[in-house]
Structure 1
Amino acid sequence: MPTTNDIRAAFLDYFAANGHQIVPSSSLVPRNDPTLLFTNAGMVQFKNVFTGQETRPYSRATTAQKVVRAGGKHNDLDNVGYTARHHTFFEMMGNFSFGDYFKAEAIEFAWTLITRDFGLKPERLLATVYAEDEEAAGLWRKITGLSDDRIIRIATADNFWRMGDTGPCGPCSEIFYDHGPDVPGGPPGSPDEDGDRFVEIWNLVFMQFFEDPPGVRAPLPRPSIDTGMGLERFAAILQGKRDNYDTDTMRALILASADATGQDPDGPFRASHRVVADHLRSTSFLIADGVLPSKDGRGYVLRRIMRRAMRHLHMMGTKETVFHKLVPTLVRQMGAAYPELVQAEGLIRETMRGEEERFKAMLERGLALLEDETGRLGDGQPLPGDVAFKLYDTFGFPLDLTQDALRGTSHAVDVEGFDRAMQMQRARARAAWAGSGDTATETVWFEARDTFGATEFLGYTTEQTEAEIQAIVHDGRPVTEAGAGAQVELLLNQTPFYGESGGQVGDTGLITAPGLRIAVTDTQKRLGDLLVHSGTIIEGTAQVGQAVVAGVDHERRGAIRAHHSATHLLHEALRRQLGPHVTQKGSLNAPDRLRFDISQPRPLTPEEIAAVEAEVNARIRENSPVTTRPMSQDEAINLGAMALFGEKYGDEVRVVFMGAPEPGRAAWSIELCGGTHVNRTGDIGLFRITSESGVSAGVRRIEAVTGRTAEQAAVAADQRLQQIAAMLRVSAAEAPERLAAILEERRVMERQISDLQRKLAGGGEGGVAAEQVNGVGLIARNVGDLPARELKPLADSLRQQIGSGVVVLVSTAEDKASVVAAVTSDLTDRLDAVQMVRAASAAMGGKGGGGRRDMAQAGGPDAARADAALEAVRGLLAAPTAA
């Protein structure tokens, strides 16, 4: 009996042998279809190839595609666990022709594979065709020998495939397997077609028309083929089972659930084990593809899936966290075919464990409330909507989880009442927000948030994705379209653009569509989770509802990632070098630099700066992986995580791990952070601190650069050193010593000059020469460029030498006039030094001055009037009152 892995490999090998390129499964998060929540078919990754927007180096392809159907119109969540063939996650096998072969070859490939290679008996098979597709019916007869009664014509849209309202389309042919007359059900197209006897195993889409406008079809110049076979359903047939959950892979997961819970896999909790097995797959693959549980979008759907599985585990009596313990079984079953499971196993387990711990904490309270409320209801009476809303708003129960908990009882949920309660809460939130003082423009975004929900951010895993324009704001008002030259703000349903927060600047880049080009100059977060793109329409007209491609400036984003990641390493290095008192007080992570403010009472010494820089570069050279895990804030703090400035944290946080693990510590640096980061520390490149300065009391600022910018800074510094060395006429290595010698020579010369100026001011070698003014000895000198700081010591020295009298000195150094007056102690009873400097200052255009009666100092703006200042003092002494 072939295993599921054998079947997958045989399918791909068969088509590879027939000239098909084996293409790996694309991500469950579609990058080229903004209308899809998750990848829901094998053709999604080839959509642009079919429409002609993209070319590939091959014209035939085959895939085993991961598929999730748990949201939007493709939502099988409620049925999972209770039917034989519903899944949230499954694998879609397919073969594709891009204008190469068409109907005849597609039918022959399929028929040969399932009858010859897989050994299905032709008499167990039948085919459907679109009622108008006589060509396909004739080919089925010719190639397979099927009789007309086993080629069933279907007149409905079930057998006519469309990519959308417009675009490629064409008729389908489905292959069905007949389990036999002992199984209830009728053939496709009959009143009993929903029974289990006839099971669809393969759908062949003949893409031969282009529809535009709706209802008007033209033949495609290069008709194509798109097929899809559900692996689980096909494996059940080949393994002799009628239930997908009895296949080897699903059974292994069910047995793992039974072992973890201690409950019989086929006993009363049979449906619960099936829910757990299915949801284990969708949860693990979604996390491996970058989706994490959250309150909106894809993360919200993931959380619903996880919590549904966890509630069934709780129903089976588990007291501890169990869900994450099942991941190794899944990795053993599917890791060889999907290596991303192996690579992300740690992240998957940690995410599951944290989510289950949070869920268990609120589950008991929520279920107690639910039990209490249902106990008050009469038979068949619905659960009031406000109660269901309280479970959602207070305990985190999504509506469908409450509905699932009531399954098997006589009670439904008053969904209309739930919706009314939701609207009332939004109205209250809006009223509270309206009084917060925000601008009228923000009203637009509040309405958008109310209408569309949060923007789905894909920038952790990609820099380009398709999206849909949800809103356009021009001149502060919402508009339906805007043309070239307009400055606009755009809201997309999903985006790779990071909105400025936590110190990281917003992304720039391009938003494009055929005939449309918008230069995005900034991205901002509005109302917490709306990502608003600001920019200019360079070409074309942007319209609400338009499909676009959003692409981030790759080089700029890479530089920002490097600086943001280096900030984490810098933070840890500073704490280790300076002490645990260091905490972040602010940051900027830009493409050309990082700025990091810290609590630190004193400047860093050059030795400390060098040590921090060396430590960061050592971590960069380790080139260790940079990993991110979601967890509760308490868990993160218990791990030793540091919170980064500017971030607002809820119950769930993103924790970034950098550097090799240490004893008792999961990584060298552990930070709470929602920004974008490098994949490995080595991607940062070189780290270089460019400055350290004070910002305010107790806060120091460090500025640094990384990567190419750091290299440029190092080159520029080396060039400056070479220039200095050339001017000093020595080598770069000798420059510091030579410069130190020159500075010492300068200090010696300055001392000599100062000594000479003192001697000149004091009368030269012959001693002090004083003039007599009104019987008072006076030394009045313009000492020229003698520094002002030298005036008082020189005046005091001259006062001692004169014995009795007055000394007045004026300096004109650096074109600034300073005057000092000194009076010997025997004359202070009738002469005032303060009065003298004020008179001198007034003569030089100044005013004021101060000091004591025996020594005072003043200044003046006009250094050219230094001699006039001395004359003013002479005039003051010559006055009769001075005698």
Structure 2
Amino acid sequence: MSSALSASQIREAFLQFFEGRGHRRVASSSLVPQNDPTLLFTNAGMVQFKDVFTGREKRDYSRATTSQKCVRAGGKHNDLDNVGYTARHHTFFEMLGNFSFGDYFKADAIAYGWEFVTKTLGIDTARLAVTVFNGEGGIPWDEEAYELWAKQGVPRERIYKLGLKDNFWAMGDTGPCGPCSEIHYHQGDDIPCAEVAAGRACQGVACDCDRWLEIWNLVFMQFERKEKDAPLIPLPKPSIDTGAGLERVASVVQGKRSNYDTDLFQDILSRVSELVGKPYTQEDGASMRVVADHARAAAFLIADGVQPSNEGRGYVLRRIMRRAIRHGSLLGLDELFFFKVVDRVIELMGDAYSELRESRTFLLEVCKFEEESFRKTLNRGLKLIDEEVARMKSAGETQLKGDKVWDLHSTYGFPWDLTEIILRERGFGTDVEGFNQKKKEEAERGEDSTLNKDKAVGAVYHQLLERLGTTEFLGYEGLGHEGEGSVRAILKGGAEVAEAHAGDEVELVLDRTPFYGESGGQTGDTGRVVGHGGKAVAQVSDAQRPVPGLVVHHTKVTEGSFKVGDMVQASVDGERRSSIRANHSATHLLHRALKLVLGEHVKQAGSVVAADYLRFDFSHFSPMTPEQQEQVEDLVNGWVRENTEAQTRIMSLDEAKKSGAVAMFGEKYGETVRVVTVHPQTTELCGGTHVRRSGDIGLFKIVSESGVASGVRRINAVTGLGALQYVRETERELKKASELMKTTPKDLVKRVEATQKRVKELERKVEEVTVKAQTGSSKDLLEQARDINGIKVLATRMDPADPNVFRGLADQLRDRIKSGVVLIGGEKDGKAVLMVAATQDVVKRGINAGALLRELAKEVNGRGGGKPDLAQGGGEDPSRIPAAFDKLYELVKGTNLA
């Protein structure tokens, strides 16, 4: 066995080995699975080939090999809590794989696997063992695999038979599956084993100890499970799916017992060690390992378009990043550090995964922004946890209630699992069940998004594509508004029918069409389909592309009838198509202009190209200034006025990338791509329709710029006649406003400023009068104060509520009450407003206005907070204000005073 091979060399050796045996080298797919609602992240090499295995998708090769990016940090496959504390668990890892789609089967797969491991990598056969499926759950044992391994020279005593748990592979509750066979490597009998310690024999490859390490899993795809717990269905053709974790293979080849000791991690750990200022050791290096692992996961997830957020995939990324930052803090890293570790990941892996280098600036900005945000959250959350710990100690409680954990999570952005860790460190437990119940209640109210809103594509479309082939698109040439085609299929209610009659709403599939099916952000075309010499008419309300290559026309038959096989004339709404073209080409120009004005870190994060507007989401961490928006508009309109001829070239994906063409967000590209150059400034991969000359865009105008997520901004814009209409409407509104203010548009701003100043003066005078009026009756109010535990507590109502008046009145009452707590409540615009004030002496005794307000706000279905002596909040239910008053008395009564 060679110890000189680096992980990069092993990866390349694997891919070359299978390329030499007729396999197509296929690039890793995104960590965000496309069209698969069953998965949070790509977690195995076969994910991108799932539909190929089931026969729903056809490719021009029957053998493939990949090095697939994988993440297991959520859902069924979740290793997050173990990362850093074991030698093998990771959030991100690379899976080497070779695949056969109905080509070779067990004999070749086993022969290839054994040859690569023993010959190419040179691993000692004396330290290898294999496993096969022993038969269970009504599925026969894999005698064929057993004999094939023996044929390779594996001693029969080292061919182990294991059950469903170990040797039957399934990606999830549904999907392709089958018996599998594993290759294991013996690390040594000196590794501790619980069985041996208990006086029993080690169970070998079936044991939970680390003496034997699985390095390769060969899955023999024979079945598919359509629904959870449904019977297994044989696949059309038996196939092969293998997976060898690069991290594990590298540890064996390099003679290491921990993945973290391989060259995949050592350089990253050295960077962490350098930042911390002390060496990395196995004994105290758990936090360093967490940082190193999570830096890899964060880099790849962000590069694949995932943004830190409070829901779905974004929340998992946020948990990963914040867990790393928390461990960095435990190591004494008080300054921003995580982006520096991620930068080392980019240096190490950018050659193998070019998306890391291409997104470097953006990656680092995301990491900086998230760490800055979390450090504020961390400080605030720790302070709140300190308050709760003090309260639990005085109350004799042993765990934090679930609603408190939820409040920290939902209100303050503090991850619940981090709350659990910190409390555990301080000797307290967490009411996880109560937290989950609260989370479930919030989800039922619609306030918590599910992790994945993707919709699975109906099997009928896959079947149509397989039977009919792809739809030829006629819309690129000339105007591309009309074309003749044949009706190949009609769908009604999701099922195929032979014909459609007037009044029917159906989906038509043609062999050729000028209609663009919605994809890449560009909306689908509308128009009509005519047959039988004009006697049959169907109005097309939308065109969709449910699976790549298949265009489906959503129609309503208004005249006559259509049958499968009819020749028809398809006509796109030309004026609408022209507007869409202009908006689509404008997005390309806008993308480039944003990079020039804001920086090369700008990256598309989504788009919508409609007939009446365009929407463009992009990576950036601060609102654009008016000056920056004007600069972008000037650049785009300058390119429009140059009226350059747009060019489209067809080339291979590799050629396109080498030419500098920019790939658009969310697009799935084939081996051959369209490269569109609307203007020499911008060249992008795009399958949409575009203008013939940049001047066809006419005019470009930004309507709005806003934030949609952490680090993601959104521009809405219009072009052509839409831009002209927008400008005219704005002018009309400006003239109306000027007339109301009795001035000219030119002097409108000055008049508004003067009016605002006058309004503020009048509001201040009204507040003064109101406070004086209330203060005059404050003696009566003070008589209503209750004495609780020696503290005066006053709760009073004032409508309509005005926070400014409340503040003045609270100060007055607090001064007069001398020692105590004041709560003022009232209703404004159908919502409750609450304010709590406490005198300094009771604050010192343990009364906290901010803590009281947080609890009181829950009574009115709201939230709030503030300082120990003054806090403000509110809620949706003003009818519950009396309940908040009662709650105040209860809380003060239950407080343990110093």
Letter in 2 for 1:381: T
Letter in 2 for 1:363: L
Query: For the Cα contact (< 8 Å) 1:169–1:210, is it kept in 2?
Result: yes
Query: For the Cα contact (< 8 Å) 1:518–1:539, is it kept in 2?
Result: no
CA distance in 1, matches of 2:190, 2:577: 61
Query: In structure 1, what is the equivalent of residue 630 of structure 2?
Result: none
- 2:371 aligns with one of 346, 352, 356: 356
CA distance in 1, matches of 2:376, 2:240: 50
CA gap 1:262/1:465 in 2 versus in 1, 3 angstroms: farther
Letter in 1 for 2:710: E
Shift of 1:508: 5.8
- After TM superposition, list the pairs within 5 Å mapping 1:89-238 onto structure 2: 89-131=92-134, 132-146=141-155, 148-162=156-170, 168-185=176-193, 193-210=207-224, 216-217=231-232, 220=235, 222-238=237-253
Letter in 2 for 1:346: T
Q: Secondary structure at the match of 1:199?
A: strand
- 2:295 aligns with one of 265, 277, 280: 280
Query: In structure 1, what is the equivalent of residue 402 of structure 2?
Result: 385
Q: Does 1:402 align with 2:402?
A: no
Query: For the Cα contact (< 8 Å) 2:96–2:245, is it kept in 1?
Result: yes
Shift of 1:561: 3.6
Q: Secondary structure at the match of 2:38?
A: coil
CA distance in 2, matches of 1:380, 1:626: 61
Letter in 2 for 1:101: Y
Query: In structure 2, what is the equivalent of residue 757 of structure 1?
Result: none
Query: In structure 1, what is the equivalent of residue 611 of structure 2?
Result: 591
Query: For the Cα contact (< 8 Å) 1:261–1:318, is it kept in 2?
Result: yes
Letter in 1 for 2:87: A
Q: Does 1:412 align with 2:429?
A: yes
Query: For the Cα contact (< 8 Å) 2:33–2:48, is it kept in 1?
Result: yes
Shift of 1:420: 4.0
Taking structure 2 as the reference length, the TM-score comes to 0.55
- After TM superposition, list the pairs within 5 Å mapping 1:472-551 onto structure 2: 509-510=543-544, 512=546
Q: Does 1:266 align with 2:286?
A: no
Query: For the Cα contact (< 8 Å) 1:573–1:612, is it kept in 2?
Result: no
Query: For the Cα contact (< 8 Å) 1:37–1:298, is it kept in 2?
Result: yes
- 2:681 aligns with one of 623, 630, 634: 623
CA distance in 2, matches of 1:82, 1:425: 33
Shift of 1:85: 0.5
CA distance in 2, matches of 1:25, 1:400: 31
Q: Does 1:327 align with 2:342?
A: yes
Letter in 2 for 1:338: Y
Query: In structure 2, what is the equivalent of residue 310 of structure 1?
Result: 325
Letter in 2 for 1:178: H
CA distance in 2, matches of 1:83, 1:275: 10
- After TM superposition, list the pairs within 5 Å mapping 1:768-807 onto structure 2: none
Query: In structure 2, what is the equivalent of residue 14 of structure 1?
Result: 17
Q: Secondary structure at the match of 1:135?
A: helix
CA distance in 2, matches of 1:268, 1:259: 18
CA gap 1:271/1:27 in 2 versus in 1, 3 angstroms: same
CA distance in 2, matches of 1:380, 1:124: 54
Q: Does 1:673 align with 2:681?
A: no
Q: Secondary structure at the match of 2:428?
A: coil
Query: For the Cα contact (< 8 Å) 1:137–1:151, is it kept in 2?
Result: yes
Query: For the Cα contact (< 8 Å) 2:133–2:162, is it kept in 1?
Result: yes
CA gap 1:357/1:170 in 2 versus in 1, 3 angstroms: same
- CA displacement, residues 737-768 of structure 1 (integer Å, 9 cap, x when unaligned): xxxxxxxxxxxxxxxxxxxxxxxxxxxxxxxx
Bigger Cα Rg? 1
Query: For the Cα contact (< 8 Å) 1:96–1:225, is it kept in 2?
Result: yes
Query: In structure 2, what is the equivalent of residue 654 of structure 1?
Result: 712
Shift of 1:621: 4.2
Q: Secondary structure at the match of 1:240?
A: coil
CA distance in 1, matches of 2:24, 2:709: 46
- CA displacement, residues 581-634 of structure 1 (integer Å, 9 cap, x when unaligned): xxxxxxx974367799xx9xxxxxxx999989648989974615899xxxxxxx
Which stretch of structure 1 is more off in the superposition, 248-257 or 206-215? 206-215
Query: For the Cα contact (< 8 Å) 1:168–1:210, is it kept in 2?
Result: yes
Shift of 1:259: 1.3
- CA displacement, residues 433-466 of structure 1 (integer Å, 9 cap, x when unaligned): xxxxxxxxxxxxx5xx6674674699xxxxx999
Query: For the Cα contact (< 8 Å) 2:521–2:609, is it kept in 1?
Result: no
Shift of 1:415: 1.0
Which stretch of structure 1 is more off in the superposition, 389-398 or 239-248? 389-398
CA distance in 2, matches of 1:595, 1:261: 44
Q: Secondary structure at the match of 2:356?
A: helix
Residues matched between the structures, number: 562
Query: For the Cα contact (< 8 Å) 1:457–1:496, is it kept in 2?
Result: no
Query: For the Cα contact (< 8 Å) 1:654–1:673, is it kept in 2?
Result: no
- CA displacement, residues 1-42 of structure 1 (integer Å, 9 cap, x when unaligned): 311111111111111122211111111111142211111100
Letter in 1 for 2:544: L
Q: Secondary structure at the match of 1:99?
A: coil
- After TM superposition, list the pairs within 5 Å mapping 1:426-825 onto structure 2: 446=446, 452=450, 455=453, 509-510=543-544, 512=546, 559-563=582-586, 590-591=610-611, 614=641, 621=679, 623=681, 645=703, 649=707, 652-655=710-713, 672-673=714-715, 694-695=728-729
Shift of 1:142: 1.4
CA distance in 2, matches of 1:167, 1:594: 38
Letter in 2 for 1:17: G
CA gap 1:113/1:328 in 2 versus in 1, 3 angstroms: same
Query: For the Cα contact (< 8 Å) 1:236–1:247, is it kept in 2?
Result: yes
Query: In structure 1, what is the equivalent of residue 359 of structure 2?
Result: 344
Letter in 1 for 2:215: I
Which stretch of structure 1 is more off in the superposition, 373-382 or 251-260? 373-382
Unaligned runs of 5+ in 1: 431-445, 459-463, 467-480, 489-494, 501-506, 522-537, 541-552, 575-587, 600-606, 628-642, 656-671, 678-683, 702-883
Letter in 2 for 1:253: I
- 2:62 aligns with one of 59, 62, 67: 59
CA gap 1:498/1:402 in 2 versus in 1, 3 angstroms: farther
Query: For the Cα contact (< 8 Å) 2:225–2:231, is it kept in 1?
Result: yes
- CA displacement, residues 238-261 of structure 1 (integer Å, 9 cap, x when unaligned): 111111111112111111112123
CA distance in 2, matches of 1:167, 1:455: 19
Taking structure 1 as the reference length, the TM-score comes to 0.56
Q: Secondary structure at the match of 2:712?
A: strand
CA distance in 2, matches of 1:87, 1:153: 28
Shift of 1:496: 7.1
Q: Secondary structure at the match of 2:96?
A: strand
Letter in 2 for 1:201: I
CA distance in 2, matches of 1:385, 1:690: 55
Shift of 1:262: 2.3
Unaligned runs of 5+ in 2: 135-140, 196-200, 464-492, 497-503, 508-517, 524-540, 556-561, 565-575, 598-607, 617-625, 627-633, 646-676, 686-700, 736-898
Query: In structure 2, what is the equivalent of residue 806 of structure 1?
Result: none
Query: In structure 1, what is the equivalent of residue 265 of structure 2?
Result: 250
Q: Secondary structure at the match of 2:332?
A: coil
Query: In structure 1, what is the equivalent of residue 884 of structure 2?
Result: none
Q: Secondary structure at the match of 1:144?
A: coil
Query: For the Cα contact (< 8 Å) 1:28–1:286, is it kept in 2?
Result: yes
Query: For the Cα contact (< 8 Å) 1:71–1:301, is it kept in 2?
Result: yes
CA distance in 2, matches of 1:568, 1:8: 35
Query: In structure 2, what is the equivalent of residue 73 of structure 1?
Result: 76
CA gap 1:674/1:9 in 2 versus in 1, 3 angstroms: farther
